[in-house]
Amino acid sequence: MAKLVTIFGGSGFVGRYIARRMAKEGWRVRVAVRNPNEAMFVRTYGVVGQVEPVFCNIRDDASVRAVSQGADAVVNCVGVLDEVGKNTFDAVQADGAERVARIAAAEGITRMVQISAIGADAESDSEYARSKAAGEAGVLQHMPKAMILRPSIVFGPEDDFFNRFAGMTRFGPVVPVVGADTLFQPVYVDDVAQAAVLGVTGDLSGVYELGGPDVHTFRELMGTMLHVIRRRRMVVNIPFPIARLMAFGFSVGRVLSLGMVRGPLTKDQVINLKNDNIVAQGAQGFAALGIAPVPMEAILPDYLWRFRPSGQYSEIKESARNLKV
């Protein structure tokens, strides 16, 4: 019988790419999510019955144990960028990751891949970064041979980065950013998935920091995005002191609305945007895995075209203008 992998958060942005690749490798894939009915699309990644979404709450021992039983490997992709209700940074990214590793070890599972993030740091001022570091420590406590992947900002058709900012260009002449000079090393989502699959199928362990082939400032990333979508907009940097005040205002509004209104910026995100998000010098990365990362210029046009003024007809119109009568 084919081996079985349980992917926690397997219908999410990164998780679905891992699930697809694991299915192509011939593994049975158990996609553990909170809303299986919203994850039915993962079934198409394999033959009938090969990929199945199942219910799991990563905050609950019994739930995690139920989806871990019988698995040969586990991959944890669950993470949050903002705290909502009981899904706090610590509950999901620290305690949740530790729970997956603890129960996997108890079930006799020998392989685990943990998706973390560049910037994970137990001493950081950011709760997000501290919880990511705590999650890594919890995983290694129970699964010392686990593979931990720390990607920079991840891009791809379903991303919430380029899609969000490209969407903003439809509503005004300005693209506001916080930390315009902060460095990023965008990494293609399927390259991260390929690294995770190597961790499941191979004898790999340790921490790998994953960044694409190029390093850019936040401002330069917006410039690239604007070039791809054929729009001219002014990229305006919001100074950190003003960004902190904005984040505070959004947090007050969230409290007064009992959580119904969520602002576009949080205090923790402002803290993170102060720090460069690039692969550390000397860190293991794609080279150690034998993977050549794909540049974002090769992928962005494939999904950002819908934000162009003429959408799918943009290139046709440009070609027409260049015709000589």
Q: Does residue 179 lie within any of the structural domains?
A: no
Report pLDDT digits (tens) over 79-109: 999 988 899 999 999 999 999 999 999 999 9
What is the rounded distance in angstroms from the CA atom of residue 38 to the CA atom of residue 47?
Answer: 19
Q: Which residues contact 269 (CB under 8 A, 6 or more apart)?
A: 81, 82, 128, 178, 247
> Is the confidence at residue 310, as pLDDT, over 80?
no
Task: Decide if 78 is inside a domain.
Answer: yes
- Model confidence pLDDT, tens digit, residues 122-151: 999 999 999 999 999 999 999 999 999 999
Identify whether 324 is part of a domain.
Answer: no
Instruction: Indicate the number of domains in the chain.
Output: 1
Tokens of 3: 């081996």
* Residues whose CB falls within 8 Å of the CB of residue 291, separated by 6 or more in sequence, listed in order: 191, 194, 195, 198
Tell me the pLDDT band of 8, cut-offs 50, 70 and 90: very high
- Sorted by sequence, the CB contacts under 8 Å of residue 257 that are 6+ apart come out as none
The range of the structural domain enclosing residue 126 comes to: 4-155+187-213+278-294
> If DSSP codes are grouped into helix, strand and coil, which group holds residue 72?
coil
Burial of 86 (0-12, 13-18, 19+ CB in 10 A): exposed
138: left (phi > 0), else alpha (psi -120 to 50), else beta?
A: alpha
In a domain, 203, yes or no: yes
Residue 70 and residue 43: Cα distance in Å, rounded? 20
In this predicted model, what pLDDT tens digit does every residue of 176-217 receive, in sequence order? 999 999 999 999 999 999 999 999 999 899 999 999 999 999
Q: Is residue 255 part of a domain?
A: no
The predicted model gives 243-263 an average pLDDT of 86
Residue 121 in domain = yes
Asked if the structure places residue 287 within a domain, the reply is yes
**Could you tell me if residue 181 is inside a domain?**
no
Q: Report the CATH number at residue 99.
A: 3.40.50.720
Token pair 């198409």: residue: 44
